[in-house]
Amino acid sequence: MLHQVAAAQTSHAAEVRQRNAAKNLLQRMNHYVADGFPEISVLDGLMNDLSAFGRTEVTDETRSQVQSDVKNFLVRWEDAFSRLPYMFAISDLNQPGEQLRAIRTLALENGWQWSDAIPADTSPPPDKEAMNAWRERAFPSLARGWDWHPDEPNREGLDEAVRCARRVQEYRTDINNAWQRLRDR
């Protein structure tokens, strides 16, 4: 009987250590995200603009305005995802994300109730290059330095950009929510 009590205490201590490790990792990751990622309102604005570009019919009369809107949008996109804080946050999130995945796996294997607080995907969102790769597909003439093509923007490129921005938004929300849920347990 004493052996069973000792085993239960050891198991409980291991669970507490792992939960505390997960809390610490999530707190650190949440800090990186809060300091380096664009605000949710900025991401919402970027995604709304991308959707608007997809619905806009480019005519001879609207081409100049659309071009101007696109250039302004691209400056905002660049500001959101090419800033040093975003790039540093992405690189700083790799190792804690891997550690958190390992803790989540262990927690699930042991049936610890708090394991559901940890997101299944803790890998960071795309880096600067991946976040900007869609532009050449959406606006090929800008990449070539040629005149605006009447078929631009390309819908597939815009959809890719929305997916990238949504991934950043979901990651930001998932990490913050996971940290708050584990912090409160």
Give DSSP secondary structure letters for 108-134. HHHT-GGGGGS-S--S----HHHHHTH
pLDDT at 136: 81
Query: Residues 121-167: pLDDT tens digits?
Result: 999 999 999 998 888 888 777 656 556 666 667 888 889 999 999 99
Residue 42 pLDDT > 90:
yes
pLDDT at 79: 92
Query: Residues 65-108: pLDDT tens digits?
Result: 888 888 899 899 999 998 899 999 999 999 999 999 999 999 99
Rg (CA), the chain: 22
Residue 96 structural domain:
2-183
- pTM of structure: 0.85
pLDDT at 65: 86
CB 90 within 8 A of CB 124: yes
pLDDT at 59: 79
Residue 2 pLDDT > 60:
no
Residue 23 pLDDT > 90:
yes
φ, ψ dihedrals at 130, nearest 5° = -70, -35
pLDDT at 149: 65
By CB neighbour count within 10 A (0-12 exposed, 13-18 middle, 19+ buried), where does 3 fall?
exposed
The domain tally of the chain equals 1
Lowest mean pLDDT among 7-11, 24-28, 70-74, 76-80: 7-11
